A = this chain, B = another copy of it.
Amino acid sequence: MADSIRESRGNRIRLVVAYDGAGFHGFARQDGLRTVQATLEETLTRMLSTPIEVHGSGRTDKGVHARAQVVHFDLPYGPPAERMVYVLRRRLPADVIPLWADQVDTGFHARFSVVRKTYRYLLYRGAAPNLFLYRFSWHVPGVLAVEAMREAAVHLLGRHDFTSFCASATPQEDKVRSLYRIDFVESPNRLAIEVEGSGFLQYMVRIIVGTLVKVGQGREAADRIPAILAARDRRLAGETAPPHGLCLWNVEYPPEYGGKVVDPEADL
């Protein structure tokens, strides 16, 4: 397997990185702004003394984090993929953490090869914000009816037109997406909402979370979700939850590329 990869035409590297979104204007390159893509490209270009263009599994908005963003780039030559992570760890700023890298054939594309993605949204429910989580959670003190939120979430599972649950300015014509899983993970003062799907529209997870919180706070009924979906009207769903609670949690590729890039049980 390793041999057949080495024999393929290009030298394509897949790199998995985590980042703290607070200091970035999102993933995608933008002139004059600090972005994750530009940071990776500049670091790799300096490190390898050749211009490197990086392709991500998708954008993340300003302020959104990633536990597992996937990028790929092509190299004319360079250190072996495993060694690259150690070199990058010393060269990248502290808020971009390279996790692992491997060499892949040029049939792999960080974005087009994606099968599923998982996002996690973290709510912190303590009376005061939590020092260790304030950068990574939405502080929602007060009563939250988690059972009602679970009921509401069930209506979102499956294949739907998510026009009501994305930014009005979403560029894509086709708003049909599939959600495979919405899990609620509770621990003291924390509620993590994991959403796994085929792909996500702009602000989609944040609007889903804003709507679920509205249900949890008793300002919307769980059984109203089907009508909100059917109306295809953004104004009917809840507010857009703030970006700093959101984290790109996992990316899944076909089995020949190893499936999920992070073990779902991993402590990263």
Q: Which A residues form the contact surface with B (CB < 8 A)?
A: 18-20, 65, 67, 85, 89, 94-95, 97-100, 126, 128-136, 188-189, 247, 267-268
Q: Which residue of B lies closest to A95 (CB)?
A: B134
Please indicate the chain B residues that have their CB under 8 angstroms from the CB of A65 in the complex: 131
Smallest beta-carbon distance A84→chain B, Å: 13
* Given contact pairs A267-B126, A268-B126, A131 touches B18 in the complex (Cβ within 8 A): yes
* Given contact pairs A89-B128, A128-B89, A134 touches B267 in the complex (Cβ within 8 A): no
Which one, B95, B130, B247, B268, contacts A130 given CB within 8 A? Answer: B268
Q: Is the CB of B267 within 8 A of A188?
A: yes
Closest 9 CB pairs of A and B: A18-B131, A97-B129, A99-B128, A188-B267, A189-B267, A67-B131, A132-B136, A97-B128, A94-B134
Q: Is the CB of B97 within 8 A of A134?
A: yes
Q: Is the CB of A131 within 8 A of B94?
A: no
Q: Is the CB of B20 within 8 A of A130?
A: no
Please indicate the chain B residues that have their CB under 8 angstroms from the CB of A89 in the complex: 128-129
Which one, B18, B131, B247, contacts A19 given CB within 8 A? Answer: B131
Apart from the given pairs A99-B128, A131-B268, 11 other A-B contacts in the complex at a CB distance below 8 Å: A18-B131, A20-B135, A89-B128, A94-B129, A97-B134, A100-B128, A128-B268, A131-B247, A135-B135, A188-B267, A189-B267
- What number of copies of this chain does the assembly contain? 2
CA distance A31 to B142 in the complex (A): 40
CA distance A95 to B133 in the complex (A): 11
* Given contact pairs A126-B268, A267-B126, A268-B126, A131 touches B188 in the complex (Cβ within 8 A): no
Please indicate the chain B residues that have their CB under 8 angstroms from the CB of A133 in the complex: 132
Q: Is the CB of B268 within 8 A of A20?
A: no
Q: Is the CB of A97 within 8 A of B131?
A: yes
Name the residue among A65, A126, A129 with the largest chain B CB count within 10 angstroms. A129
Please indicate the chain B residues that have their CB under 8 angstroms from the CB of A129 in the complex: 89, 94, 97
Please indicate the chain B residues that have their CB under 8 angstroms from the CB of A268 in the complex: 126, 128, 130-131
Smallest beta-carbon distance A136→chain B, Å: 6
What are 11 of the A-B contact pairs (CB < 8 Å)? A18-B128, A20-B131, A65-B131, A94-B129, A97-B134, A98-B128, A126-B268, A128-B268, A131-B247, A131-B268, A132-B136
Q: Is the CB of B132 within 8 A of A132?
A: yes
Please indicate the chain B residues that have their CB under 8 angstroms from the CB of A19 in the complex: 131
CA distance A85 to B189 in the complex (A): 20
Smallest beta-carbon distance A152→chain B, Å: 27
Q: Which residue of B lies closest to A99 (CB)?
A: B128
